[in-house]
Structure 1
Amino acid sequence: MATLTGVAAPAPTRMTSRHRLILVLLLGVQFMLAIDFSILNVALPIVGEGLGFGLGSLQWIATAFALPAAGFTLLFGRVADLFGRRRMLLTGMGLLALGSLIGGLATSPALLLTGRVMQGLATAIATPAALSLITTSFPEGPLRNRALGLSGALMSAGFTAGAVLGGVLTDLLSWRWAFLINVPIAVFVLVAAPLVITEASRVITEASRAVTEASPVMAEASPAIGESRVARGTRLDVPGAITVTGGLLALVYGITAAGSQGWSDPFALGSLVLSTVLLAAFWITERRAPAPLVPLRVLAKRTVTWGNIGGFIAFATETSLVFLMTLYLQQVLGYSAMATGLALGVLGAGTFAGGVAAPRIMARLGGRWTLAAGLVLQALATAALLGLGETRSGLPLMLAATAIGGFGNLVAIVAFMGTATSGLPDGEQGLATGLATMTQQVAITLGIPVMSAIATAGDRSVLGGVHTATLVNAAVALAGAALMAVFLPRRAIAED
């Protein structure tokens, strides 16, 4: 916040009780959405047997979620800016409850896929809305870094918890509970969010009005925190929305099809070509649009561009490493799905610790060096996994390395989120968090098929394939650290 003398006042460092209520609610939403992404992965064969999916069709249970989750995120991030973040959060929660109910009660593959599509669309609507409510409720600096640290920790822990919870629910009850567990939670959010977030907005707006009356200069420099939307009269860029959404959908479909059918598959290649054409058209459209969906000046900010590149590398490498370790535990060591999920829970503990520690590390090192250091630690821990062998004696090494790598990965992810959303006004936070969420979803979708293709190429054994892909994974993370150190601004975030 600027003072009358033009000197920046220090950002607040303590949360109010209202801040804590908002944060607990929004973190709960993000944790649930993260769980949804992975909760069915270990149960796919059982789901297939129960509803008559063929072996080659199981991938569509994951793809039906990933397509809308990645393809529509950027669009709905901007829609949240224009039409209200709380409104979009509630819309996403309502759609999640309905989609989960349909999926949990499904009696055919078509109904189950319908439920998964609705869950993916709900994620695309609710995730950027929840993230932008966090970034607009907490000013840049220690408070926002702390909130983003907890957000990143719970989101990453949610991916791991999804695998564990999916295995437990499937073994003890039924795979249907992987869907149905969402319904009461979503209903609770639908009831609680209007009470918590509305009151917070009222309190914050009153405080902002007092600032405005005291000093117009201060008010101009620090817009009302928690403001629900941008100025009236701003229109949605329809051509930009169509081209970018179509391009992202084609990209995700092409990557997924290539991962399952091979990179020479004509449908996969056709989708990737179509994606290139549509995304190029989107770029041209944004240069000419009077009110672009993504203003090019935002993409021109190095914090946005390189922050998202760093986030892409962090998500693509770590989620694909989870896939490689799942392959190792089940195909090489012969563990069950439930035991695999529990073993990967150590990685979840490491990521949670990384999310809690990240704000302090950022306060000391700054955004650029925190992001780079997190990726270096992740790369070194990943490289240690090359010591895994065909016997279970290497399990302690795997548990320790994945926990340490998960710590580094979450430090990098929190720095990515803070960097990619810094230096932008509240009215563009939905756009910024939409970009960041899109980066996350596309990275997850891209990383797994690419590492899978590397692991299964040639006539190598399963262990040999896992080693090769692990080496590539570590090299990519290390290269990402070098890019962040070189190209990110010296002070990527105003930490204090």
Structure 2
Amino acid sequence: MSSTTPAPAWRRTVVLALIMGAQLMMVLDTSIVTTALPHLVDELGFSPASLSWVQNAYVLAFGGLLLLGARVGDLAGRRRVFVIAVAVFALASLVAGLAFSAPVLLAARVLQGVASAFAIPSTLALLVGAYPEPEQRSRAIAVYSAVIGAGASVGIIVGGLFTDLLSWRWGLLINVPIGLIVVLLSPRFLTETARRRGSFDLAGALTITVGMTALVWGLIESSTLGWASPVVIGLLALAAVLVVAFVLIERRTAEPIVPLGLFANATRSGAYLARILIVGAMFSTFYFLSQYLQDVLHFSALLAGLSFIPLTGMFFATVYVVRPLVRWMGQERLLIASLVLALVGMGWLSTVGAGTAFLPWVLLPLLVLGIGQGIAIILLTQFGMADVPADQAGAGSGLVNTAHQLGGSVGLAVLAGVFIAAGGDRAAIAAQVTGYQAVFHVAAGFYALAVVVGVVMLVAARRARRSAPVNAVEQPV
């Protein structure tokens, strides 16, 4: 494929389908077992205390290794790393789906997380390379963002369907044929990126990998051990020390695993922070709302999964409205408006009670929330990759996805603590409802903070635009 001649439309459609198929199966695996958790207690002997590790084992490996995966893709070739990682993910999914004991399932979930950490940073970089024209690239990134945003809710829907109609195992085994198709077709349709020569930043890789793992692990443990636990304090302190060490290392090394210049742009940095906040709010909403529907409203796993279809539909529908809205409002103002809309939806959702009717008092807030979140995710993905040099696309993609996974981990850990502190873990329905309301109130606070970040991004963008012509005049003649 020539670097100057655009690929035929059908070929780029296949490229998009391959990347989205891999991206979706990996993102939805963060939540696909949510509706199946009660069944794992009976079938594999999980205790209530160890049950959360079915999800956390995946998130821990995924979040801890993302930046390392991005760097390996830059050095070894992104298509090569992507194909190998998808193959490993499919194999791990087969083992997980056939698991006969709790340790085997957890080990397979860890391997799934490792494979995802190496595959996903390459997806956005490969997508950007396949769509060199700005307009087509913007549309492809919008689809990509919708898949990321909807992945967790799609996972709950698929998990509920398989759990009730077949078995929870099929929610994992379905990855095998999808992965096989991606592995077979990718060498033909995806263009390999140039393998960069250079040294591997081993010190940076070790410090950020261990640091991210300690951070995610500490946040996970905080929901059960409490923030005052020596284990939690030790893990978070270790994470802080290693992150500081990582920054110092990256400032001195000639070929850093994460170029710190990516944070110099206020728009990109704001996009990373806002993404952490809104993904933390939304991911936790999926987790707790699924339980609310089953434990309080007495929905089946299937019906609870189907309840997320309207929300998922809104995520994908926003793909078609973002571009005209950007032309009308501008990117920064549209971002703020979408975050305010999501804040309204989450605040509305926090009013649910024991006798709340799903129609309309759960459905309507979900629709409002889905529109706001869907638009915001698309814009934040675009902001996160804005003006990233081609040779740093893997690192930029890794940071976008790291912010996404870190948001899910932070949000779930914080809101799980809120749920327990509010008494939501007690058997009484009234206590559970109080816990769910507290969770949704704090999640609304996450959106409020994201609105503040959006305003700062708007101010920074306006200052940059005002200073541009001044700089041009002040240049030496």
Shift of 1:188: 0.9
Q: Is 1:129 matched with 2:122?
A: yes
Which of 82, 85, 89 matches 1:92?
A: 85
Calculate the TM-score normalised by the size of structure 1: 0.87
**Structure 1 residues 314 and 445 mapped into 2: Cα distance closer, same or farther (>3 Å)?**
same
Which of 438, 443, 447 matches 1:473?
A: 443
Identity value in percent: 33
- Paired residues for 1:244-259 under 5 Å: 244-259=208-223
Runs of 4+ in structure 1 off by over 4 angstroms are 12-15, 491-494
Shift of 1:68: 1.1
Aligned to 1:38, what secondary structure does the other structure show? coil
CA RMSD of aligned residues (A): 2.3
Amino acid of the residue matched to residue 407 of structure 1? Answer: I
**Structure 1 residues 47 and 279 mapped into 2: Cα distance closer, same or farther (>3 Å)?**
same
Query: Which position in structure 1 is the counterpart of 2:253?
Result: 289
What do residues 43-100 of structure 1 show as CA deviations (whole Å, max 9, x unaligned)?
1121232112222111111111011110111111122122111111101111111101
What do residues 335-369 of structure 1 show as CA deviations (whole Å, max 9, x unaligned)?
22222111122211121212332233334433322
- Paired residues for 1:61-460 under 5 Å: 61-139=54-132, 141-197=134-190, 201=191, 228-229=193-194, 232-393=196-357, 395-459=359-423
Which of 31, 36, 42 matches 1:43?
A: 36
**Structure 1 residues 68 and 318 mapped into 2: Cα distance closer, same or farther (>3 Å)?**
same
Amino acid of the residue matched to residue 93 of structure 1? Answer: V
**Structure 1 residues 15 and 312 mapped into 2: Cα distance closer, same or farther (>3 Å)?**
farther
Inter-partner Cα distance in structure 1 for 2:309 and 2:113:
24
What do residues 247-267 of structure 1 show as CA deviations (whole Å, max 9, x unaligned)?
000000000011122222222
Contact 1:136–1:429 (8 Å) recurs in 2? no
Calculate the TM-score normalised by the size of structure 2: 0.90
Contact 1:366–1:492 (8 Å) recurs in 2? no
Shift of 1:110: 1.8
Inter-partner Cα distance in structure 2 for 1:423 and 1:308:
15
Contact 2:30–2:155 (8 Å) recurs in 1? yes
Query: Which position in structure 1 is the counterpart of 2:473?
Result: none
Inter-partner Cα distance in structure 2 for 1:183 and 1:385:
36
Contact 2:85–2:119 (8 Å) recurs in 1? yes
Contact 1:67–1:252 (8 Å) recurs in 2? yes
Q: How many positions carry a matched residue from both structures? A: 455
Aligned to 2:461, what secondary structure does the other structure show? coil
Q: Is 1:18 matched with 2:15?
A: no
Amino acid of the residue matched to residue 377 of structure 1? Answer: L
Query: Which position in structure 2 is the counterpart of 1:463?
Result: 433
Shift of 1:428: 0.6
**Structure 1 residues 359 and 454 mapped into 2: Cα distance closer, same or farther (>3 Å)?**
same
Aligned to 1:72, what secondary structure does the other structure show? helix
Aligned to 2:141, what secondary structure does the other structure show? helix
What do residues 298-341 of structure 1 show as CA deviations (whole Å, max 9, x unaligned)?
22221221111111112111111222322322232222222211
Query: Which position in structure 2 is the counterpart of 1:487?
Result: 457
Shift of 1:458: 4.1
**Structure 1 residues 318 and 14 mapped into 2: Cα distance closer, same or farther (>3 Å)?**
farther
Shift of 1:491: 7.0
Contact 1:418–1:493 (8 Å) recurs in 2? no
**Structure 1 residues 166 and 386 mapped into 2: Cα distance closer, same or farther (>3 Å)?**
closer
